[in-house]
Structures are given as C-alpha cells and as structure tokens.
Structure 1
C-alpha cells in the first residue's frame, strides 16, 4: 500500500456529503489508517530499543514521572489496569521497571524505573526527531494536528 499525499487526493479539502458512506469520507477510517501508518513507522525504531509501541508509551510516562502509580499511568495512557498489567509484567521481566506497593496505601502500586529503564531514555532520545522527520509535517502542522486530535478525543470522550 502506498501513501498518498494531500496533493494527490482529489477529495482533499472537500467536505463529505452528509450521510456519505464512502470510505474516503469517513473520519474513523482516516484516523485508523493514520494510526496504523504511524505505528508501523515507530516499529523499527522501537525494535532497536527492545520495546513495543504500548511499552514505549509506558516508558514515556515513567521517564517523565518516575514513581507514578498504576492508576496514574492508566489515566495518562487512557488504558484500563487489565490492559496495563501484562505490559508492566513484561517491562518488569525485561528489567526496565519495578513495582512496589505504596506504604501509605497497600492497594496502590507505584512504578519505578530501574537503572536499565532510566538508561534506555538516552537511547530513545532520537525517536521523536526520527518520527517528526518521517511524518514530514511543519512544526505548525504538527501542533495543529495534536490540537485537533486532542479536541476530537475530548468531544468523543465527553459522551461516554
């Protein structure tokens, strides 16, 4: 499958007819295709780090907020604990993090980077730049895309 640029798309900038059932008119498909393409571009970069994409997201949070609880991590990543548990077990088995019950609340589990997990941050530092280059967006387009996707997420989540 080859990627088409906006210049190659005859429908770019044209509003879909209300109720259209054409695949190219569906925002859900555009989001799905973009997500698959972006995730596929991450794969070789993350393979070098020994991480999957979801594991990379966990590490991004912990590199920023070491000692986060599983609950806080779930909120940050918008994931249920049942989805997080296997991810965390694999990262722990890989020696990148450790889990500890919090002494002030035995029900709460805090996540701490190991030395290896903290050191991996240095190796991962080039990933955002590599991905930015691969996406080919200007800084303004990148900021606009993130803003619109966050807005969309907020609107859709509001109705749940």
Structure 2
C-alpha cells in the first residue's frame, strides 16, 4: 500500500469514528437514565435485525465469546429489551426477540438519527453510495482475525 492510500484509509477510519461518536451522543437526551454498553448495543443490533435468532448465532454475528453474549442478553432482558421464547420445534433451543420497548427505542433512534443527518446528508445518491461502502467495510472487517471484539465490554 502506498502512502496516499494509507492516508486516505486512515482518514476514512478516523471520520467513521468521529461521526459514530457524534451520532451515538445524539441519543442521550431522548434516553436519559437509560444506558447500554457497546457490547449490549452490538447484541441488540443483531437481535433487532434478526428477530428469532439464537444466542449462539448472536455470539457468532458479534464475534463475542458466549459468556459475554450471555451476560449482555441477561442485561438486555433485565432492561426489558429482549425476550426469550422457546423454539416450538426444539424445546432445547431459545429464540431471542426484541420487546415492544426495544422496538419503540429503535423507532425513536431512527427518528433522532434521521433528523440529525437530514441537514447534512440530503443527496439520496450520495447516501446510498455511503451506505454501500460502509456495509462493505463492516462485512469485510467482520471476519478479520486482527479485530478483537472482546474489548467492547
């Protein structure tokens, strides 16, 4: 990799971190008194996107060890955000679903984050391009062995 490419990629990573921090902070006023650890947020994101997923599949999707996943799920359940349902086809298996409260939180986050970005990202084609790039980055990094997701606790 040449210096120009290294500089561009560093700038991209730095901007992703900065924007993520600002977006994350924007939720604070609406959710005063509620908090989620980065680990809980990662687990909740998977449960929101894949209702009915198993704890093992959540662990694989987040690349967390099962004990960390279990702890996050217990915490999310205690906060009223995740519910466990026995699989009707296999009573040994438990499926995870977001609760109504979690769905309300997600709708509120969608509103907050959409309003936040509305004034600075109005070009539909540019937004679509950014989403495609960020999805490709996320998918590419998800399997990278150099990334230790256990530090999110």
Q: TM-score, normalised on structure 1?
A: 0.61
Segments of 5+ residues of structure 1 without an aligned counterpart are 1-15
Greater gyration radius = 1
Q: RMSD of the TM alignment (CA)? A: 3.5
> Is this contact kept in 2: 1:67–1:112, CA < 8 A?
yes
Match of 1:98 among 72, 75, 83: 83
State how far apart, in whole Å, the 1-side matches of 2:6 and 2:142 are.
22
> Is this contact kept in 2: 1:43–1:52, CA < 8 A?
no
- The Cα shift of 1:63 comes to 4.8
- The Cα shift of 1:42 comes to 2.7
> Is this contact kept in 2: 1:100–1:111, CA < 8 A?
yes
Q: Which residue of 2 aligns with 1:38?
A: 23
1:137 matched to 2:124? The reply is no
What are the within-5 Å matches in structure 2 for residues 18-97 of structure 1? 20=7, 26-47=11-32, 50-52=34-36, 54=38, 55=40, 58-59=43-44, 61-63=46-48, 65-76=50-61, 78-80=62-64, 81-97=66-82
Segments of 5+ residues of structure 2 without an aligned counterpart are 146-153
- The Cα shift of 1:123 comes to 5.2
Match of 2:4 among 7, 12, 17: 17
1:121 matched to 2:108? The reply is no
Q: TM-score, normalised on structure 2?
A: 0.63
The number of residue pairs the alignment matches comes to 137
> Is this contact kept in 2: 1:63–1:118, CA < 8 A?
no
The superposition leaves residues 101-126 of structure 1 with CA deviations (integer Å, 9 ceiling, x where unpaired) of: 657263x432245xxx2244235423
> Is this contact kept in 2: 1:74–1:84, CA < 8 A?
yes
> Is this contact kept in 2: 1:98–1:112, CA < 8 A?
yes
Higher relative contact order (CA 8 A, sep 6+): 2
State how far apart, in whole Å, the 2-side matches of 1:155 and 1:61 are.
17
CA pair 27-17 structure 1, distance change in 2 beyond 3 A: same
State how far apart, in whole Å, the 1-side matches of 2:134 and 2:86 are.
35
